[in-house]
Structure formats: C-alpha cells, structure tokens
C-alpha cells in the first residue's frame, strides 16, 4: 500500500518535472538579415514611437550613470536587492544589439520574457506588464526600434550571484509569478476605461513602481495592487483608495500631473516619476493620458470621495499662513520658516501653481518621511515638477537633526496623522541615497 502511494508520488514528480522542463525550454529563433528601414511606412513608425513613449523603452535602455550613453544602446543600471542589473542594447546593431531579430523574436521577448536564443530574461525587463500588449502595438514598436540608429556597444555584466542567472532559476520564478497573456477588455466598463487599463497595466507599467513587491521581487498580486511601492529609495505612493493625501486625486488632477508633471493641488512629479510625465506622457496623444487618468480615478473611487475636498483645502490654506502671523516662539516653527517658509506659503482660495502647498503634498502624509527628506537633500531641478521652476538643495544647509525637526514639525502641524518615529536616523539613511551636490565639503 505504502509502496504504491510512493510510486504514485514519484510518478507525479517525474511528470511534473518533465512538464517543467517543457515549460522552461524555448527554442532559439533563427537570425535574419538586417531589416531594411524602408520597408516600414512613416505612419507605422510614428505609431511605434508612441508605443515606445508609453512604455519608457528609452528610459531603461539608455545609460544614465558614467556620463550617460547613446539612446537605446543599453547598459542602464538598475539597483535591485539581488544586485545590479544592466539592460541590453536594443538598437538595430546586428552584433551587440537586436539588428538580426525577426519580429516574432522581438514579440516573444516582450510577451514571454524569452531572448532570441531561447534563454529566459530577467523580470527587471517588466515583461509581466508587456505581456498584456497587443501584437499590433508590438509590430509598430518593432518598426520604430528597427529604424533607430544602430549603436555598437556592449553592456556591463550583471552583478548578482550566479545562482540567479541560470535559466532554470528564472523559469521557476516565471512559473510562480508570471502569467503571460494579452489584455482582455472588461465589458463592464466603457472604451476609455479599457484604453486606460490597457495602457496602465501593460505598456505604461504603473504597477511596476506603485505596487509593493514580495521577497522574490514579484508584485503582490492580486490583493495589494497599487498599494504603493519603493523605487530608487523613493516611495511611489498608493494609487488606490489608500492614497493618503487629504485632497482626492480626481481625474483632472491626475491628468495634469501625468501630462505636465505638476498637479495644481498636489504638487510636482519628482524623482523617478518626473521622466514618466515629462519625457514620455507629455509626448503621446492627449486622449491616451486622459484614459489613464480616467481609469485611476475610477479605480480609486475618486468621485465618491471628493466631498471632503473643499474643507481639506480650506484647512490647508489656513495652516499655510499660521506661522507667518507674528513671531512664533516655537523653535521648530522658526527653523521651518527660516529654511522653507519664504517659498512654501499660500493663501486662499488655492495654492499657486509651482508653489506646492505642503499640507496637501504627499511628502507629509506617507507612512515614512523618505520623500520629504529626499526632496530637502537633493532639491528639485527645473526639469522636474513644474517646468522651469526649481527647489534648491539643502544637503549642506541642514543637518540630519535639522531635517528631523522640520519633518516632525510639518507632520505635527500640517497633518492629522501620528508622528513619524526615528526621524534622525531616517534622515541619515536618506542622505546615503543622495549624491552630494558639486563643491560640497561633505
Ligand atoms: C524597467 C526597465 C525596462 C523597461 C521599461 C524596458 N526594458 Fe527592455 N530590458 C530591461 C532589462 C534590465 C533587460 C535585460 C534583461 C536580462 O538581462 O535578462 C531588458 C531586455 C530587453 C530585451 C532583450 C534583449 C536581449 O538581447 O535579450 C528586449 C528586446 C527589450 N528589453 C526591449 C524593450 C522594449 C522594446 C521596451 C519598451 C517597450 C523595453 N525593453 C522597456 C529593462 C527594461
Ligand atoms: C519608475 C517608477 C514609476 C513609474 C513607472 C510610475 N510612477 Fe508614479 N510615482 C513614482 C514615484 C517615485 C512617485 C513620487 C514622486 C514625488 O513624490 O514627487 C510617484 C508619484 C505618482 C503620483 C502622485 C501620488 C501622490 O499621492 O503624490 C501619481 C498620481 C502617479 N505617480 C501616477 C502614476 C501613473 C498613473 C503611472 C503609470 C502611467 C506611474 N505613476 C508610473 C514612481 C513611478
Ligand atoms: C527657494 C524656494 C524654496 C525653498 C526655500 C524651499 N522650497 Fe520646497 N519647493 C519649491 C518649489 C518651487 C517646489 C516645486 C518645484 C517644481 O514644481 O519643480 C518645491 C517642492 C517641494 C516639495 C514637493 C516635492 C514633491 O515631489 O512632491 C516639498 C515636500 C518641499 N518642496 C519641501 C520643502 C522643505 C521642507 C523646505 C525647507 C527645508 C523647502 N521645500 C524649501 C521651492 C522651495
């Protein structure tokens, strides 16, 4: 009896193992002769440009450290808990790029995370989102990529333990966390909603930053979709109804933020969110950005939650002026007024565009003070947030203790949330994430 069960278990094991090897194994797709750029129509290439902008291919495939690199030639560094990863050269160079990839090979990479030679690719290449893209969009994208200048350039080797690289390890990861398949329209919603969902879930991969990840680096789905994540040390706030800002992200606030990099009530898109708006969503059809805003406003039930906005806005405007009236005896209020108050004050009825009202900005309302610290330490360039408007860096002007006092003061006087803890240590941790400004004595 026992033996039979054991044999049964072994049998299941063997079949499962064979199934897994079948799942893990992909054939190489033969190389092709370099593609003739003239074969694609100008309209197709332009459609491909838009798809590329909506999926930030250029961002992740262009080196930014070491003085920058040629567009799409790869070697972009991504820091992960498992080690540094460098992206591939995806220019049409036949030797170091993808110049001899056929369209089916290109499509398979995006939709299944498999390279032309059959090896599994790292999920840092967000194919868990790109798998939702339509064949048509990928065909247009192929035309755009294949008509970019070819660049001969090799990337740096990935710097993580070898145990992660073999294709079997990656295949196991994919078996557990990756569900290939195109986006399926939801018949309960209209065309604009479905267009927004198609873009957000697929090409624009908003969840890659805004959904928390588990220990294996996979998004916690389903369950914690858009519940907030961490990227390059920054908190990417929740985009669902758990977003903590006192004024709701309405469709219009979302649209302006995504299109112009600044929302009238909430403030600027800083850090890793800045290129999403300025370099990419600013260059695509307006209707697509409206669709994304429509989708997220609906998902977060914005329309049902706006009733408190008017009161929250009035409250914030009253707080904003508070410490300007007379001389405060609170030393923290005076530190804040001296360092920040000259720029960050507003009067009713609403904040001035480009002068964010801190009482409404997420930096004060998130679970941790990280974003507030990162903004104080590095400032914001004229490119980020409101175009042409900058915030100076306080890297040298404020000590960790000063920053901790300002953070505690703002949290206490501008929000209704419990105080942050370990503020000075967290200030020191945030400082480690920031490059000292040039000419710094630190
Ligand atoms: C979030 C960053 C990120 C984005 C966005 C991104 N990629 Fe990548 N991509 C990577 C990384 C990292 C790799 C390398 C994966 C590896 O080494 O296994 C990669 C690999 C690839 C490969 C495989 C190349 C090869 O030689 O095997 C192709 C093709 C590719 N990307 C195309 C694209 C296209 C097209 C887009 C835009 C739709 C895009 N990528 C957007 C990070 C990204
Ligand atoms: C590369 C990572 C990344 C991607 C991709 C990304 N975001 Fe963000 N997002 C961030 C970060 C980081 C912040 C915080 C920026 C700040 O505080 O200035 C942010 C902020 C936001 C905010 C402001 C939230 C608040 O309460 O202040 C909204 C809205 C937003 N993102 C929407 C989106 C949408 C929609 C997409 C997809 C189209 C997207 N993001 C894609 C990283 C990302
Ligand atoms: C010289 C004017 C000036 C001073 C001083 C200043 N800021 Fe700012 N701050 C700005 C401007 C302008 C922006 C919006 C920038 C943009 O849109 O690109 C901003 C943005 C911010 C944001 C929003 C960041 C985001 O990504 O959402 C925070 C938070 C902030 N400042 C905090 C502070 C704190 C704290 C101090 C004091 C230590 C301070 N600022 C001092 C001008 C200033």
Written as one string, the DSSP assignment of 112-155 is H-B-TTSPBPPGGG-HHHHTTS-HHHHHHHHHHHHTSPP----P
Q: For residue 66, what are the contacts with CB-CB under 8 A and spacing of at least 6?
A: none
Q: How far is the CA of 435 from the centre of ligand 2 (A)?
A: 22
Q: What does the alpha-carbon distance between residue 271 and residue 2 come to, in Å, rounded to a whole number?
A: 61
Domains 23-177 and 191-442 are alike in CATH topology = yes
**Among 145, 132, 74, CA closest to 105:** 145
Report which ligand 1 atom has the smallest distance to the Cα of 116: 27
Domain boundaries, the chain: 23-177, 191-442
What integer pLDDT is reported at residue 442 of this predicted model? 46
Q: What does the alpha-carbon distance between residue 230 and residue 212 come to, in Å, rounded to a whole number?
A: 7
**Among 61, 259, 81, CA closest to 153:** 61
Ligand nearest to the CA of 358: 3
CA torsion 185→190→195→196, rounded to 10°?
A: -110
What integer pLDDT is reported at residue 320 of this predicted model? 84
Token pair for 289: 């950005």
CB 138 within 8 A of CB 58: no
What integer pLDDT is reported at residue 96 of this predicted model? 97
Q: What does the alpha-carbon distance between residue 424 and residue 414 come to, in Å, rounded to a whole number?
A: 20
CATH class of segment(s) 23-177: mainly alpha
Q: Does any ligand 2 atom lie closer than 6 A to the CB of residue 211? A: no
Q: Does any ligand 3 atom lie closer than 6 A to the CB of residue 211? A: no
Q: Does any ligand 3 atom lie closer than 6 A to the CB of residue 123? A: no
Q: What does the alpha-carbon distance between residue 389 and residue 149 come to, in Å, rounded to a whole number?
A: 34
Estimate the share of the chain in helix, then strand, then coil, as percent rounded to the nearest 5: 45, 5, 45
Q: What does the alpha-carbon distance between residue 380 and residue 391 come to, in Å, rounded to a whole number?
A: 5
The count of C-alpha atoms lying within 13 angstroms of the C-alpha of 17, restricted to the half-sphere facing its C-beta, is 6
β-strand 229-231 against 267-268: which pairing, if any? unpaired
Q: Is 210 annotated among the ligand-binding residues?
A: yes
Q: Give the dihedral sign, CA 420/422/423/428.
A: negative
Q: Does any ligand 1 atom lie closer than 6 A to the CB of residue 121? A: yes
Query: What is the residue with the minimal CA distance to atom 11 of ligand 2?
Result: 236
Q: For residue 291, what are the contacts with CB-CB under 8 A and spacing of at least 6?
A: 192, 193, 195, 196, 199
Q: Is 343 annotated among the ligand-binding residues?
A: yes
Q: How far is the CA of 146 from the centre of ligand 1 (A)?
A: 15
Q: Does any ligand 3 atom lie closer than 6 A to the CB of residue 261? A: no
Question: In degrees rounded to 5, what are phi and psi of residue 184?
Answer: -110, 120
Number of continuous H segments (helices) and E segments (strands) in the chain: 18, 6
In this structure, CATH architecture of domain 191-442:
Orthogonal Bundle (1.10)
What integer pLDDT is reported at residue 441 of this predicted model? 47
User: Could you state, in chain order, the average pLDDT of each consecutive group of 10 residues for the chain (442 residues)?
Assistant: 51 67 87 93 98 98 94 94 90 97 98 96 96 98 98 89 68 93 98 98 98 94 96 96 97 98 97 97 98 98 94 91 74 93 90 93 98 98 95 98 98 96 98 84 46
Residue reference for tokens 């350039």:
153
Q: How far is the CA of 258 from the centre of ligand 2 (A)?
A: 9
Ligand nearest to the CA of 397: 3
């Amino acid at each position: 009896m026992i033996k039979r069960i054991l044999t049964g278990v072994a049998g299941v094991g063997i079949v499962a193992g064979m199934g897994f090897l079948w799942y893990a194994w992909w054939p190489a797709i033969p190389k092709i002769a370099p593609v003739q750029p003239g074969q694609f129509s100008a309209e197709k290439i332009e459609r491909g440009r838009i798809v590329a902008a909506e999926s930030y291919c250029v961002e992740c495939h262009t080196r930014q450290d070491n003085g920058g690199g040629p567009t799409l030639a790869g070697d972009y560094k991504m820091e992960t808990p498992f080690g540094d990863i460098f992206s591939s050269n995806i220019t049409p160079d036949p030797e170091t790029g993808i110049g001899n990839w056929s369209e089916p090979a290109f499509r398979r990479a995006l939709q299944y995370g498999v390279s032309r030679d059959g090896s599994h690719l790292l999920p840092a290449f967000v194919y868990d989102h790109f798998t939702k893209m339509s064949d048509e969009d990928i065909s247009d994208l192929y035309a755009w990529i294949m008509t970019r200048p070819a660049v001969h350039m090799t990337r740096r080797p990935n710097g993580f333990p070898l145990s992660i690289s073999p294709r079997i390890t990656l295949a196991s990861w994919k078996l557990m966390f990756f569900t290939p398949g195109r986006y399926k329209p939801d018949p309960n919603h209209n065309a604009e909603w479905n267009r927004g969902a198609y873009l957000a879930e697929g090409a624009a991969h908003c969840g890659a930053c805004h959904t928390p990840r588990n220990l294996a680096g996979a998004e916690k789905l389903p369950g914690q979709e858009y519940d907030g994540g961490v990227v390059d040390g920054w908190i990417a706030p929740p985009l669902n109804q758990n977003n903590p800002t006192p004024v709701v992200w309405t469709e219009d606030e979302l649209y302006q933020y995504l299109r112009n990099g600044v929302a009238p009530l909430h403030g600027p898109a800083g850090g890793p969110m800045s290129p999403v708006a300025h370099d990419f969503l600013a260059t695509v059809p307006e209707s697509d950005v409206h669709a994304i805003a429509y989708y997220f406003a609906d998902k977060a039930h914005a329309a049902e939650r706006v009733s408190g906005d008017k009161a929250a806005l009035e409250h914030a405007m009253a707080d904003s002026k508070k410490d300007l009236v007379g001389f405060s005896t609170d030393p923290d209020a005076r530190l804040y007024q001296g360092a920040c108050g000259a720029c960050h004050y507003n009067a009713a009825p609403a904040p001035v565009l480009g002068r964010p009202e801190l009482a409404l900005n997420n930096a004060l309302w998130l679970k941790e003070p990280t974003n507030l610290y990162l903004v104080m330490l590095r400032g914001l360039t004229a490119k980020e947030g409101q175009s042409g408007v900058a915030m100076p860096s306080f890297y040298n002007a404020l000590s960790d203790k000063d920053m901790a006092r300002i953070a505690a003061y703002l949290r206490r006087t501008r929000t209704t949330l419990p105080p942050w803890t370990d503020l000075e240590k967290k200030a020191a941790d945030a400082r480690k994430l920031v490059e000292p400004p040039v000419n710094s004595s630190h």
